[in-house]
């Protein structure tokens, strides 16, 4: 009799397939599934209509890696190097010369102004379509300095499963990043299944011009919006116009987004990816230039946010590496 039940359980298994197979069976996974069950069950007090199932995720360090520096900065440096090789005359400053030499230390020494100069040279004053094509071409060629992987393969398998699971449960999934809105749009649909209209990020101004009869959007270089820290809830209400019920981030730059998203009525979920896995990815939190996480760690428990421990909660990190 016991064997029959066992056999039946095996047969029935596909019907209750695990939506998050790359997550270990720890509290983090249980909290996520319990939250999703509660807001999607029409009989639950916490039920949320599909239209209000908005989930927002940071990108760098939350959906893909961000070490040793933000990948978008690597793109900027690689582009300036490429442009400088074609025409050395454009390398008119220490910052541009440092970028062309891929000397990050010298580049960072030129300060914020130098960085802005390199970002502008690689991101501005070109048709938006060309920028998207340039980023796509770079993703095809560039490889990460320590893993040797494509940058768009350094995305987190457990987060891909979470995005798919949420969409299958009627959620609309958004990226809300301090990175460039158009940079992320160049790969978000292929990498994450997130269409361009569901990407929110920092941006520069742009303008409309008809060039030789062709209507064109020209990406400009003046700062338009900084989608970081308190800018994240502002960007969310500008683009989406309603409060998310789930938000995920990895650093204190996401604090206000999680605070805002988890403060509304009804069931809410805040997630923080904690980089604890030096072996399979990177381990960092309270110190450094990238992804600093202090307040989020200190207040997660009291606020009911789930701290995701990469090392213990994730069975797998990147889609293409062995487990």
Site residues for Ca ion per CB under 5 A: 58, 60-61, 250-251
- 270 interacts with, out of a second copy, Ca ion, none, CB within 5 to 8 A per kind: none
β partners of residue 272: 249, 307
Stretch that binds a second copy, among 41-49, 66-74, 94-102, 228-236 (CB under 8 A): 228-236
- How far, in Å, CA of 307 to CA of 115, rounded? 32
d(CA 58, CA 261): 13
What SS3 class is residue 230? coil
By CB under 8 A, is residue 227 in contact with a second copy?
no
- Minimum CB separation of residue 48 from Ca ion in Å reads 26
Residue 181 engages a second copy in binding (rule: CB under 8 A):
yes
Interaction of residue 88 with a second copy, rule CB under 8 A: no
Are residues 221 and 125 in contact, defined by beta-carbon separation less than 8 angstroms? yes
Smallest distance, a second copy to C-beta of residue 57, A: 15
Rule CB under 8 A: which of 203-222 touch a second copy?
203, 206-208, 210, 214-215, 217
Provide the strand spans (E) within the chain: 54-57, 126-127, 172-180, 199-211, 214-225, 246-249, 269-274, 306-309
Are the CB atoms for 220 and 124 separated by under 8 Å? yes
- Rounded to the nearest angstrom, the gap between the alpha carbon of residue 185 and the centroid of all alpha carbons in its chain is 11
Q: How many residues bind a second copy (CB under 8 A)?
A: 33
Round the CA-based radius of gyration of the chain to a whole number and report it: 21
If one asks whether residue 199 binds a second copy (CB under 8 A), the answer comes out as yes
Instruction: Give the nearest residue (CB) to Ca ion.
Output: 61
DSSP H helical segments within 64-110, as ranges?
71-86, 94-100, 104-109
Q: Is 5 in the site for a second copy (CB under 8 A)?
A: no
Distance CA 174, CA 197 (A): 9
Q: How far is the CB of 260 from a second copy (least distance, A)?
A: 4
**Closest separation in Å from C-beta 226 to a second copy:** 12
Query: Hey, which residues between 252 and 271 contact a second copy (CB under 8 A)?
Result: 256, 259-260, 263
Q: Which residues contact 274 (CB under 8 A, 6 or more apart)?
A: 250, 285, 293, 297, 307, 308, 309, 310
Task: Return the number of the residue (138 or 284) whose C-beta is nearest Ca ion.
Answer: 284
> Which partner from the list Ca ion, a second copy, none does 251 bind, CB cut-off 5 to 8 Å by kind?
Ca ion
Q: Does 172 bind a second copy (CB under 8 A)?
A: yes
Instruction: Map the footprint of a second copy across residues 123-142, applying CB under 8 A.
Output: 128
Residues 50-69 contacting a second copy, CB under 8 A: 51
Q: Counting contacts by CB under 8 A, is residue 226 touching a second copy?
A: no
Stretch that binds a second copy, among 21-29, 61-69, 103-111, 193-201 (CB under 8 A): 193-201
Query: ω into residue 68 within 30 of 0, thus cis?
Result: yes
Residues of the chain by 3-state class (helix, strand, coil), percent to 5: 45, 20, 35
Find which of a second copy, Ca ion, none residue 208 binds, CB within 5 to 8 Å per kind.
a second copy
Residue 237 interface partner, choices Ca ion, a second copy, none, CB cut-off 5-8 Å depending on type:
a second copy
Q: Is 249 helix (H, G, I), strand (E, B) or coil?
A: strand
Binding site for a second copy (CB under 8 A): 51, 128, 172, 181-182, 185, 189, 195-197, 199, 203, 206-208, 210, 214-215, 217, 230-231, 233-234, 237-242, 256, 259-260, 263
């Amino acid at each position: 009799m016991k064997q029959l039940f066992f056999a039946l359980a095996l047969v029935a298994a596909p019907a209750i397939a695990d939506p998050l197979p790359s997550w270990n069976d720890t509290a983090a996974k249980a909290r996520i599934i319990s939250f999703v069950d509660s807001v999607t069950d029409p009989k639950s007090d916490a039920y949320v209509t599909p239209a209000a199932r908005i989930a927002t995720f940071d990108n760098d360090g939350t959906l893909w890696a961000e070490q040793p520096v933000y990948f978008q900065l690597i793109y900027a440096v690689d582009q300036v190097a490429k442009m400088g090789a074609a025409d050395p005359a454009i390398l008119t400053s220490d910052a541009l010369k440092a970028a062309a030499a891929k000397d990050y230390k010298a580049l960072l020494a030129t300060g914020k102004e130098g960085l802005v100069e390199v970002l502008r040279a690689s991101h501005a004053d070109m048709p938006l379509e060309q920028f998207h094509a340039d980023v796509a071409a770079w993703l095809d060629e560039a490889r990460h300095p320590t893993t040797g992987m494509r940058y768009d393969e350094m995305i987190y398998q457990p987060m891909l499963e979470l995005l798919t699971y949420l969409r299958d449960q009627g959620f609309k999934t958004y990226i809300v990043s301090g990175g460039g809105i158009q940079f992320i749009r160049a790969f978000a649909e292929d990498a994450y299944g997130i269409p361009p209209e569901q990407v929110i990020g920092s941006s520069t101004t742009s303008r409309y011009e008809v060039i030789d009869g062709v209507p064109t959007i020209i990406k400009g270089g003046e700062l338009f919006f900084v989608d970081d820290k308190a800018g994240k809830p502002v960007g969310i209400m500008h683009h989406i116009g309603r409060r998310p019920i789930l938000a995920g981030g990895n650093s204190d730059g996401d604090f206000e987004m999680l605070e805002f998203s988890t403060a509304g009525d009804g069931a809410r979920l805040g997630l923080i990816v904690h980089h604890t896995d030096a072996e399979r990815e990177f381990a960092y939190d309270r110190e450094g230039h990238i992804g600093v996480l202090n307040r989020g760690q200190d207040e997660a428990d009291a606020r009911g946010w789930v701290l995701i421990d990469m090392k213990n909660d994730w069975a797998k990190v990147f889609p293409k590496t062995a487990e």
